[in-house]
């Protein structure tokens, strides 16, 4: 249980500090927008409740896909195709930035200038 609380603390700390960065904040708003769009669409077109629509949007974009909900209308199926393609990319980019801000993952830094000079001047 303490390990879960530590991870939860690091998650919210990373989210809080990440929201100070404009790039992170912009991606966060895109994630909220994509989830909101999916929730609204499934609520209106498929006739699901708002909670069921949000649940389906989250499980679809996180690729969990339990299979308990699925679109029945042709419009819902077409929307879901594009929703998955676009939404997974946006959500995965956000998760990578959040993991970096939380300290759970380190992205590689650019190559140092000294090493770049050595490789550039090395004739073969």
Residue 119: pLDDT above 80?
no
Which domains are delineated in the chain? 17-103 (1.10.287.70)
User: Looking at residues 92-115, what average pLDDT do you find?
Assistant: 71
Residue 113 pLDDT class (50, 70, 90 cuts): very low
Summarize pLDDT for 60-98 with one digit per residue, the tens.
999 898 889 999 999 999 999 999 999 999 999 988 888
For 84, the token pair is: 């998955």
pLDDT at 104: 64
User: CA 17: distance to chain centroid?
Assistant: 17
Lowest average pLDDT, out of 30-39, 74-83, 111-120, goes to 111-120
Q: Does residue 107 have a pLDDT over 80?
A: no
Residue 101 CA from chain centroid, whole number: 14
Q: pLDDT grade, residue 46 (50/70/90)?
A: very high
Cα separation of 101 and 46, whole Å?
37
Q: Distance between CA atoms of 50 and 100, rounded to whole angstroms?
A: 32
């Amino acid at each position: 249980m303490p390990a879960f609380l530590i991870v939860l603390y690091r998650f919210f700390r990373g989210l809080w500090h990440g929201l100070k960065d404009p790039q992170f904040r912009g991606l966060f708003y895109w994630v909220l927008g994509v989830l909101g769009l999916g929730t609204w669409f499934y609520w209106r077109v498929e006739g699901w409740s708002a909670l069921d629509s949000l649940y389906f949007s989250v499980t679809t974009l996180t690729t969990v896909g339990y299979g308990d909900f699925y679109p029945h209308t042709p419009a819902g199926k077409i929307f879901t195709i594009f929703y998955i393609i676009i939404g997974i990319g946006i959500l995965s980019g956000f998760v990578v930035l959040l993991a970096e801000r939380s300290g759970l993952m380190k992205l590689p830094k650019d190559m140092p200038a000294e090493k770049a000079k050595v490789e550039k001047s090395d004739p073969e």
